Structure 1
């Protein structure tokens, strides 16, 4: 997919009350940026009849009231709006934040660091350095409450999922595949390789903002030792995570 590819973006009908605007068919930084920027712009417009928006990795979904707005009218509006801006180069939404998350790499907490590094053609030290020195963006939230898909990682990390499932990883597991990282908000089986264990609690149902991270936020992983991890988990209910506004 290229920002100059004439077939993108595309508008698709989803059921009787949905429209999907896609900016590519594979994950890329420009396509994810476009999806995030486009959704934010639609929300600012507050179009009459559009009731809900959300984003996936490369698409924006709009749910509308079909008794108030027809597919044809909405598609015409979307076509004109898409033509008004180069969404692939658009500014990301305002209100984004940078989170620094303490993370143990390897040890018994994250036993697949060696395997993940080997799959990426890196030493364990270089693999850890690559992850901790790459600031990644929350591309979308999905699969479980508050669970972020993060990327895009350097090309070395274009590694496949495992053939078999890991029976279960803990809450806060940092896993990797296909140039993306995921932090698990729940304990679950996974086909992604478990290379780090974070201290973060992503889903906070008792909070005014139950999801810690939002699409467009950025994340850096701060390496800590196993003993530091134990201290943080014992003494800090917020997991030692710090954040700052990105502007």
Structure 2
């Protein structure tokens, strides 16, 4: 499900409505396909093509919004094809300006009640599960579903566990959930079919700020374990005790 893409996979450009285009780098989530999407989005934005209004990377694709009064789809596709031909985007360097963010996280307890269930699904005991999750350095692959909400991965193969067959009615803001080798950190309280394994005090969506999303695609995150007492002290901090380091 999440292996490397076929070496013969060729990026595909498709029309997406009257003012959109989609550039796809894989038919399934993988590290190289996500790397390609992040790198190509940054390069296309840096190219400054007149008429391109937005470049938004997703898990394995880039959505490009353009002004059809100034730039037709055929011309845009031609310019993007030239850029695609410049290198192997699956092996491209990731964009500059990325950050490593260490986020204090309570694993288990009544704050994150599905840790044991998730651990069993991954074939681990609780201690091994916490060690695996808390030492994984995961990339923000995309922001989606809710404002500022990151999808992070990829986790080790053992975490290729399915979603639940029923929904959890709601997890709180700051909930860390797991499924299909990914983590999602919730920016708002929401129902989910993913298992709630950790809880943070990090506020991801800040509409009053000039930069309302705390995390950006390409950032890397480590969810470091803390005690319940430490978590309670951090709740008054919008950053939830997160520490930010530049990635050189």
Q: TM-score, normalised by structure 1?
A: 0.97
Q: Could you tell me how far 1:238 is from its partner in structure 2?
A: 2.5
Instruction: Give the aligned partner of residue 238 of structure 1.
Output: 239
Instruction: Give the aligned partner of residue 197 of structure 2.
Output: 195
Structure 1 counterpart of 2:124, from 108, 122, 125:
122
Q: Could you tell me how far 1:63 is from its partner in structure 2?
A: 1.0
3-state SS of 1:195 partner: strand
Q: Could you tell me how far 1:185 is from its partner in structure 2?
A: 0.4
For residues 173 and 70 of structure 1, the distance between their equivalents in structure 2, rounded to whole angstroms, comes to: 43
For residues 55 and 104 of structure 2, the distance between their equivalents in structure 1, rounded to whole angstroms, comes to: 32
Q: Could you tell me how far 1:231 is from its partner in structure 2?
A: 1.6
Asked if the contact 2:4/2:31 (under 8 Å) is kept, the reply is no
Structure 2 counterpart of 1:28, from 20, 27, 30:
30
CA RMSD between the two structures: 1.2
Q: Could you tell me how far 1:2 is from its partner in structure 2?
A: 4.7
For residues 19 and 131 of structure 2, the distance between their equivalents in structure 1, rounded to whole angstroms, comes to: 46
Please identify runs of 4+ aligned residues in structure 1 that moved more than 2 A: 1-8, 235-238
For residues 41 and 245 of structure 2, the distance between their equivalents in structure 1, rounded to whole angstroms, comes to: 23
For residues 205 and 162 of structure 2, the distance between their equivalents in structure 1, rounded to whole angstroms, comes to: 27
* Unaligned runs of at least 5 residues, structure 2: none
Asked if the contact 2:57/2:142 (under 8 Å) is kept, the reply is yes
Q: Could you tell me how far 1:172 is from its partner in structure 2?
A: 0.3
Q: TM-score, normalised by structure 2?
A: 0.96
Count of paired positions: 246
3-state SS of 1:204 partner: coil
Instruction: Give the aligned partner of residue 211 of structure 1.
Output: 213
Pair 1:51–1:78, CA change in 2 (3 A): same
Instruction: Give the aligned partner of residue 13 of structure 1.
Output: 15
3-state SS of 1:33 partner: helix
For residues 119 and 181 of structure 1, the distance between their equivalents in structure 2, rounded to whole angstroms, comes to: 15
Instruction: Give the aligned partner of residue 221 of structure 1.
Output: 223
Q: Could you tell me how far 1:4 is from its partner in structure 2?
A: 4.9
Compare 4-13 and 167-176 and name the one that shifted more.
4-13
Q: Could you tell me how far 1:3 is from its partner in structure 2?
A: 4.9
